[in-house]
Structure 1
């Protein structure tokens, strides 16, 4: 089962929309951090601010990696490989792609992968 050109366009638009949203959020974060010139004399307040900033930066780093995955998914659309499982070569269900458009594994292969990871972790 190959995805129709309409479905591929849908996923391309979805991915681009999500990328744009994440980039806008990142710009706001940078602007907020640049604009805020808080000077907290209280060490606890300063520590809380630094903790909040570190958390925000970690979130933005995760989002940066997600953007890279989304860009790879768009490239797979362009290359005709989107919706095809990297492991078994079978189709990835539309339902799964809607839930996680960056996925490269069908649900069966992902389930097997998670079971193997769990066994290695025990």
Structure 2
């Protein structure tokens, strides 16, 4: 983390904490949403529409849970002094990349290679 200044780390930590708070607030709103109550009445099409909406909501919530995990991991790495170093090659991840994607664990080159292999 020698390549990141205290100010840069503070800025990224604030980004991560704000992202986490927004995700948790969204989850709380979803829990309080009256459309989450059991559906009574209606025809099969209405029930099918509701089930599809619930399925999509659960998929979104699953993604949000994964993102919260990544945020927590990034915050832990900041605290332990290992944030901003590529977990694949050990290179320093530039501040600009970390600011754009604060949960990243790889430098741009390693991430590109990973995506190329996924598309093979």
* TM-score with structure 1 setting the length: 0.89
Which ranges of structure 1 fall in alignment gaps of 5 or more residues? none
Q: What corresponds to 1:64 in structure 2?
A: 65
Pair 1:24 & 2:41 matched? no
Q: How does 1:1-122 map to 2 (within 5 A)?
A: 2-33=3-34, 36-119=37-120
User: For the residues of structure 2 that align with 1:45 and 1:117, how far apart are their CA atoms?
Assistant: 38
* TM-score with structure 2 setting the length: 0.90
Structure number with higher relative contact order (C-alpha < 8 Å, ≥ 6 residues apart): 2
Which ranges of structure 2 fall in alignment gaps of 5 or more residues? none
Moved over 3 A (4+): 33-38
Q: Can you list the C-alpha shifts for 1:32-60, whole angstroms capped at 9, x where unaligned?
A: 15764542321111110111011111101
RMSD: 1.7
| Structure 1 residue matching 2:15: 3-state secondary structure | helix
